[in-house]
């Protein structure tokens, strides 16, 4: 039976372990009788079963994954993993923050949002039994090798292969979702998101975001809610937090300086919403991710 109610579901914080990329690679073992606690995170998660079988449960799905199967878990989807029919199982997983990885708003809006950010879509399976997805699984297998095999300039290759994988997933999924965002609303949304990306460090009001799309405030809110499942201001704060998170682990600037540079006029407010989203303070996030990131 798929998970329907998950009281106390945790927002999991992902600690990246790839230098200068919002990516975490991890192989881990699952044991019978010790399932993961139900959790969710803003990062896209892609996993592949390497040994045994794994039961993946979401609010609507209950899937038994076999060796070689790849499953894509969309952002903010509640899920849990447990050992399947054997006493143990092994999985390789990749987590990435898509908005930090792909800094192109036209691509994000036309491709990534409809596939990976749709609140109604929990994920998609690419079974090992289907030859149709051989290329996608091969790309993911190569990505898994970077956990231990790191030739010269490997982060560039990893980034390129990951984008090829995302493109392949989009090609597989998009034809079934052709009734997505109307063309005119794509342009409106792109204009508003582009405005946020250019001026996020300044004081922005809802009226400013709506004006960037040449629509009224109610239409602005309707477009953001329909297609991004966020209010315009929530998206603005999420964008600011994402930028600040990158700055925390790639620059030596003080937290107060980073908060101000990302448009937060009060550090206390910044710290509060950062903790709400990522489960720790900005300082703690910096320490954890700096310690876990390996050298080239």
Return d(Cα 189, Cα 222) in angstroms, integer: 11
Given a cut of 60, whether residue 5 has pLDDT beyond it is: no
Domain membership of residue 280 (yes or no) is: yes
Domain membership of residue 4 (yes or no) is: no
Domain membership of residue 223 (yes or no) is: yes
Do residues 108 and 198 share a domain?
A: no
Q: Identify the CATH number of the domain in which residue 69 sits.
A: 2.60.120.280
Q: Is-contact 200 263, C-beta < 8 A?
A: yes
Return d(Cα 276, Cα 205) in angstroms, integer: 22
Instruction: Give every strand in the sheet of 44-51, ordered side by side.
Output: 23-31, 88-96, 44-51, 70-73, 123-126
HEC profile of the chain: CCCCCCCCCEECCCCCCCCCCCEEEEEEEEECCCCCCCEECCCEEEEEEEECCEEEEECCCEEEECCCCEEEECCCCCEEEEECCCCEEEEEEEEECHHHHCCCHHHHHHHHHHHHCCCCCCEEEECCCCHHHHHHHHHHHHHHHCCCCCCCCHHHHHHHHHHHHHHHHHHHHHHHHCCCCCHHHHHHHHHHHHHHHHHCCCCCCHHHHHHHCCCCHHHHHHHHHHHHCCCHHHHHHHHHHHHHHHHHHHCCCCHHHHHHHCCCCCHHHHHHHHHHHHCCCHHHHHHHHHHHCCCC
Which residues are CB-contacts of 233 (< 8 A; sequence separation ≥ 6)? 206
Return d(Cα 161, Cα 38) in angstroms, integer: 30
Q: Is-contact 110 166, C-beta < 8 A?
A: no
Do residues 246 and 172 share a domain?
A: no
Residue 9's pLDDT band (boundaries 50, 70, 90)?
Answer: low
Do residues 192 and 213 share a domain?
A: yes
Q: What is the mean pLDDT of residues 255-263?
A: 95
Domain termination site, one of 156, 177, 198: 177
Do residues 254 and 218 share a domain?
A: yes
Do residues 30 and 104 share a domain?
A: yes
Q: Which of 284, 278, 256 is nearest to 269 (CA)?
A: 256
Q: What is the mean pLDDT of residues 225-241?
A: 86
Domain membership of residue 3 (yes or no) is: no
The total domain count for the chain is 2
Domain membership of residue 1 (yes or no) is: no
Distance linking the first and last C-alpha atoms of the chain:
44
Domain membership of residue 2 (yes or no) is: no
Do residues 207 and 125 share a domain?
A: no
Residue 3's pLDDT band (boundaries 50, 70, 90)?
Answer: very low
Do residues 146 and 188 share a domain?
A: no
Residue 280's pLDDT band (boundaries 50, 70, 90)?
Answer: confident
Domain encompassing residue 227:
183-292
Tokens of 7: 């009281």
pLDDT single digits (tens) 70-92:
999 998 889 999 998 878 899 99
Domain termination site, one of 148, 177, 206: 177
Do residues 34 and 163 share a domain?
A: yes
Given a cut of 80, whether residue 32 has pLDDT beyond it is: yes
Do residues 23 and 159 share a domain?
A: yes
Q: pTM of the prediction? A: 0.73
Domain membership of residue 192 (yes or no) is: yes
pLDDT at 294: 46
Residue 102's pLDDT band (boundaries 50, 70, 90)?
Answer: confident
Do residues 42 and 151 share a domain?
A: yes
> Which burial class, exposed, middle or buried, applies to 6 when counting CB atoms under 10 A from its CB (0-12, 13-18, 19+)?
middle
Q: Identify the CATH number of the domain in which residue 231 sits.
A: 1.10.10.60
Do residues 201 and 241 share a domain?
A: yes
Domain membership of residue 204 (yes or no) is: yes
pLDDT single digits (tens) 143-202:
999 998 888 889 899 999 999 999 999 888 877 655 555 567 878 888 898 889 889 999
Domain termination site, one of 125, 150, 177: 177
CA distances from 35 to 24, 178, 222 (A): 21, 36, 38
Q: What is the mean pLDDT of residues 45-72?
A: 92
Give buried/exposed letters for 150-163 (b at 16+ CB in 10 A, else e). beeeeeeebbebbe
Do residues 63 and 201 share a domain?
A: no
């Amino acid at each position: 039976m798929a998970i329907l109610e998950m009281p106390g579901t945790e927002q999991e914080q992902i600690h990246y372990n790839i230098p200068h990329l919002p990516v975490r690679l991890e192989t881990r073992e699952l044991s019978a009788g010790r399932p993961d606690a139900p959790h969710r995170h803003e990062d896209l998660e892609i996993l592949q079963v390497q040994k045994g079988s794994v039961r993946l449960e979401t609010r609507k799905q209950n899937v038994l994954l076999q060796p070689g199967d790849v499953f894509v878990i969309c952002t903010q989807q509640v899920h849990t993993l447990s050992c399947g029919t054997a006493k143990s199982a092994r999985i390789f997983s990749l987590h990435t923050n898509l908005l930090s990885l792909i800094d192109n708003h036209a691509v994000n809006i036309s491709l990534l949002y409809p596939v990976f950010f749709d609140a109604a879509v929990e994920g998609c399976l690419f079974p090992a039994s289907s030859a149709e997805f051989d290329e996608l699984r091969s790309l993911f297998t190569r990505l898994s090798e970077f956990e231990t095999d790191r030739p010269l300039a490997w982060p560039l290759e990893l980034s390129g292969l990951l984008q090829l994988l995302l493109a392949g997933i989009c090609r597989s999924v998009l034809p079934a979702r052709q009734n997505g965002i109307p063309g005119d609303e794509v342009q409106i949304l792109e204009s508003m998101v582009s405005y946020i990306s250019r001026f996020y460090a300044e004081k922005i009001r809802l009226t400013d975001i709506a004006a960037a799309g040449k629509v009224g405030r109610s239409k602005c809110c309707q477009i953001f809610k329909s297609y991004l499942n966020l209010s315009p201001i929530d998206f603005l704060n999420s964008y600011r937090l994402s930028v600040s998170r990158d700055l925390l682990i790639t620059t030596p600037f003080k937290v107060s300086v980073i908060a101000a540079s990302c448009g937060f006029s009060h550090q206390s407010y910044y710290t509060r919403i950062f903790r709400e989203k990522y489960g720790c303070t900005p300082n703690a996030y910096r320490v954890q991710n700096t310690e876990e990131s390996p050298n080239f």
